[in-house]
Amino acid sequence: MDAFSQMEDKVQETLMADFQAMLNGEKDVPEELTDFIEFYRLAADYETRDALGAEPLLPYLERIEGLESLEEFFFGWARTWRQKMIPAYAAQLLTLDVHAPNKLRANIQLQNMDDFFTTFGIEEGDGMYRAPEDRVSIW
């Protein structure tokens, strides 16, 4: 098995465990894998464009005075997934939608990125903490 296939298997296995605990993981994992890849691509793009002095590609990742580049990105990512709905509709989406609830789509991706822990000083015992050996990385 080549290195890419091993990495792909680990990503799917970890994401499946994350989402299976709360959802129908087999249904959701393809979409969450797409989110996972997009999240890393957007983070890299954001940092590169920031270093070049360019504006972010996505309008909801607006500049926030006083924040560093990755802080802005993480706040923008969180704003992307914020959502308010009545409990009955949320329950209905769990059975119909191939996507995980937005809270999970935001938080699980963050918990796999080392820069998130460094940027916000997250340590063992904090609510968003995930041990380094349990984090999934594709690059």
**Contact (Cβ atoms closer than 8 angstroms) between residue 126 and residue 4:** no
What pTM, to 2 d.p., does this model score?
0.69
What pLDDT band is residue 99 in, cutting at 50, 70 and 90? confident
| Mean pLDDT, range 54-73, rounded to an integer | 69
| Mean pLDDT, range 121-139, rounded to an integer | 88
- The secondary structure of 46-115, three-state, reads HHHHHHCCCCCCCCCCCCCCCCCHHHHHHHHHHHHHCCCCCHHHHHHHHHHCCCCCHHHHHHHHHCCCHH
The residue behind tokens 């063992």 is 124
SS3 6: helix
The residue behind tokens 């270093």 is 51
pLDDT at 125: 95
pLDDT tens readout for residues 65-80 = 777 778 888 888 888 8
Q: What residues have CB less than 8 Å from 45, skipping those under 6 apart? A: 56, 57
The residue behind tokens 């914020």 is 82
Could you tell me the two tokens for 13?
């296995």
What pLDDT band is residue 21 in, cutting at 50, 70 and 90? low
Region for 135 from its dihedrals, namely left if φ exceeds 0, alpha if ψ lies in -120 to 50, beta otherwise: beta
